[in-house]
């Protein structure tokens, strides 16, 4: 019954080199059931997290990630198939919930953990700033990339450990609670309402989100469209948001044509009343600040960028953070593809512009392993996009988009590594007569050398 990780390569050691956090080894979390109660005024979160797990090694102890601002009051376990699993004791230290079992849990045991906890949720401090649950002026948001999920629930916070989710949030009226997935029910009771969501596809912890605010619904797609596109917006921004996201459904249609079927049941955007430095993606949902909604399409490229992450980053997840270019390079290139379609501006023109900008910047970044400091550097985004463009130039349009759709289909709702993309590139190269050596040269130059290669031009 042993089920391996989604990744194709072994776990690299015992610590994530990018976040500096120890891996939680020995088990997989298959599903999270989060039953939460949130009070907006005092910023108080109480919850019970029920985790369904199985272990790939015998366990006497295990750890989960959880912020110290949330204190655990009770942990219980239940085994399946007649296996007795009991938690003897638990403690919290170093951002971990540490469990000791009464007796060793045999390998390949399916069991559940029920964890009751509560406190004042705060973002966790990381090398990239404070991440996770953030109190707003009039509500709350969750933005966790890459390691902020422990700010609001106990989890195995690593990108290659996707799981299914059921998230129930009870909050004060009249606040709207927007969460990943499908809204199953909305039940008012007195001054509070309970919102029940289910995420039908595997999701990484950093992509799980809760958005709470005084929002109105806005339909951005036509009635009857296969993929509903919606927004939750502050009342004062409804008209400008309608204009700002006027092309959102058309973007989705284009990306479906280029990349393959949209991977989720629906797509939503949430516009907060607060300003945000940058928009943020979650699975099936993106978050924009009030400053991004001016009604003048100034942020059109970012609207396209965040949508494309539903394919690149959310459906095709990362195995490890050093491969961040697979998310951001494709999302940045998707911006160029949108303007190629909508404005007649060739992607090669966008590529040339950003290539010239990169030439003026330090040539000290390795795309295949940019390091903690630079993993969100704009050079990763643009060099990643230029790598994608170089592949397009090498293969030709028909072969490139054929390869891309096959790559997206093969990695759907899983995790990918550069080797997965390279495999599809090589297969397409052989089919159209491009030498394997040309693929290898491109791969080495763009991913594994710091110096910027020559600009990719069609022969």
CB 51 within 8 A of CB 62: no
Same domain membership, residue 226 and residue 196: no
Read off the pLDDT of residues 307-346 as tens digits, 9 standing for 90 and up: 999 999 999 999 999 999 999 999 999 999 999 999 999 9
What is the β-pairing status of strands 229-233 and 192-203? unpaired
Cβ-based neighbours of 255, under 8 Å, separated by 6 or more? 262, 307, 308, 311, 334, 337
C-alpha 113/C-alpha 130 separation (Å) is: 28
List, for the chain, all residue ranges whose pLDDT scores fall below the cut of 70: 1-12
Residues 250, 197: one domain? no
On whether both 175 and 229 belong to a single domain, the answer is: no
Residue 9 lies in a domain: no
195 and 281 inside one domain: no
Q: Is 349 contained in some domain?
A: yes
Identify whether 75 is part of a domain: yes
366 class by beta-carbon count within 10 Å (0-12 exposed, 13-18 middle, 19+ buried): middle
- Residue 272: the pLDDT is 96
Terminal CA-CA length for the chain: 52
Measured distance CA(31)–CA(46) in Å, rounded? 19
Task: Assess whether 185 and 221 both reside in one domain.
Answer: no
Residue 13 located in a structural domain = no
**Residues 145, 70 share a domain:** yes
| 453 belongs to a structural domain | no
DSSP labels for 361-404? Answer: S-S---TT---TTTTT-HHHHHHHHHHHHHHHHHH-HHHHHHHH
Q: How much is the pLDDT for 81?
A: 83
Domain end marker among 253, 275, 310: 310
Q: Are residues 249 and 204 in the same domain?
A: no
- What's the CATH number where 306 sits? 3.30.2010.30
pLDDT at 162: 97
Give the dihedral of Cα atoms 146, 271, 39, 171; nearest 10 deg. -110
Final residue of a domain: which of 288, 310, 332?
A: 310
- pLDDT score, position 7: 63
- CB contact at 8 A, 258 and 287: no
CA distance linking residue 393 with residue 235, whole number of Å? 46
Task: Provide the pLDDT for residue 295.
Answer: 87
For 242, the domain range is 216-310
Of 310, 336, 368, which marks where a domain is finished? 310
Q: Which residues contact 244 (CB under 8 A, 6 or more apart)?
A: 292, 293, 294, 295, 296, 297, 299, 303
Q: Are residues 188 and 224 in the same domain?
A: no
Q: Which two tokens stand for residue 153?
A: 């629930």
Assess whether 38 and 56 both reside in one domain.
yes
Lookup: tokens for 215: 């929002």
Helix (H, G, I), strand (E, B) or coil at 80: coil
User: What is the CATH number for 135?
Assistant: 2.60.40.1730
**Residue 121 shares a structural domain with residue 249:** no
- 60 and 142 in a single domain? The answer is yes
- Counted domains in the chain: 3
Give the angle 69-74-77 at the CA atoms, nearest 5°. Answer: 125
Question: Distance (Å, rounded) from C-alpha 240 to C-alpha 331?
Answer: 25
Residues 36 and 180 in one domain: yes
- The DSSP line for 344-364 is ---HHHHHHHHHHHHHTS-S-
- The pTM of the full predicted model, rounded to 2 decimals, is 0.96
d(CA 75, CA 332): 43
């Amino acid at each position: 019954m042993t089920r391996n990780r989604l990744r194709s390569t072994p776990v690299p050691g015992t610590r994530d080199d990018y976040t500096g956090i120890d891996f939680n080894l020995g088990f997989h979390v298959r599903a999270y059931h989060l039953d939460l109660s949130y009070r907006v005024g005092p910023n108080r979160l109480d919850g019970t997290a029920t985790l369904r797990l199985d272990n790939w090694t015998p366990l006497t102890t295990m750890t989960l990630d959880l912020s110290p601002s949330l204190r655990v009051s009770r942990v219980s376990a239940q085994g399946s198939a007649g296996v007795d699993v009991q938690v003897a004791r638990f403690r919290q230290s170093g951002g971990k919930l540490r469990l000791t079992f009464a007796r060793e849990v045999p390998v390949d045991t399916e069991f559940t953990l029920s964890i009751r906890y509560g406190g004042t949720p705060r973002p966790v401090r990381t090398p990239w700033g404070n991440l996770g649950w953030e109190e707003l002026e009039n509500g709350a948001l969750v933005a966790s990339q890459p390691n902020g999920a422990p700010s609001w629930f106990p989890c195995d916070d690593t990108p290659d450990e996707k799981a299914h989710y059921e998230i129930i949030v009870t909050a004060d009226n009249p606040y709207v609670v927007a969460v990943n997935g499908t809204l199953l029910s909305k039940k008012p009771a007195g001054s509070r309402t309970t919102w029940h969501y289910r995420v039908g596809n595997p999701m990484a912890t950093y992509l799980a989100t809760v958005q709470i605010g005084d929002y109105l619904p806005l339909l951005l797609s036509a009635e009857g469209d296969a993929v509903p596109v919606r927004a939750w917006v502050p009342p004062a921004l409804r008209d400008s948001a309608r204009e700002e996201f006027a092309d959102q459904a058309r973007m989705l249609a284009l990306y479906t044509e280029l990349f393959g079927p949209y991977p989720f049941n629906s797509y939503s955007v949430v516009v907060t009343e607060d300003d945000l430095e940058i928009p943020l993606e979650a699975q099936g949902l993106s978050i924009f600040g009030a400053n991004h909604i001016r009604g003048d399409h100034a942020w059109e490229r970012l609207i396209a960028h965040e949508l494309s992450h539903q394919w690149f980053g959310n459906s095709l997840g990362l195995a490890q953070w050093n491969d961040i270019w697979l998310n951001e390079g494709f999302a940045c290139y998707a911006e160029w593809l949108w303007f190629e379609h909508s404005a007649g501006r060739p992607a090669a023109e966008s590529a040339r512009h950003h290539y010239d900008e990169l030439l003026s910047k330090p040539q000290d970044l390795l795309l295949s392993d940019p390091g903690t400091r630079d993993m969100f550097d704009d050079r990763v985004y643009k060099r990643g996009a230029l790598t994608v463009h170089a592949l397009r130039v090498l293969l030709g349009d028909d072969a490139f988009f054929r390869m891309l759709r096959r790559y997206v289909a093969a990695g759907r709702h899983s995790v990918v590594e550069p080797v997965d993309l390279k495999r599809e590139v090589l297969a397409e190269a052989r089919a159209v007569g491009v030498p394997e050596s040309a693929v290898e040269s491109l791969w080495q130059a763009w991913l594994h050398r710091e110096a910027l290669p020559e600009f990719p031009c069609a022969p």
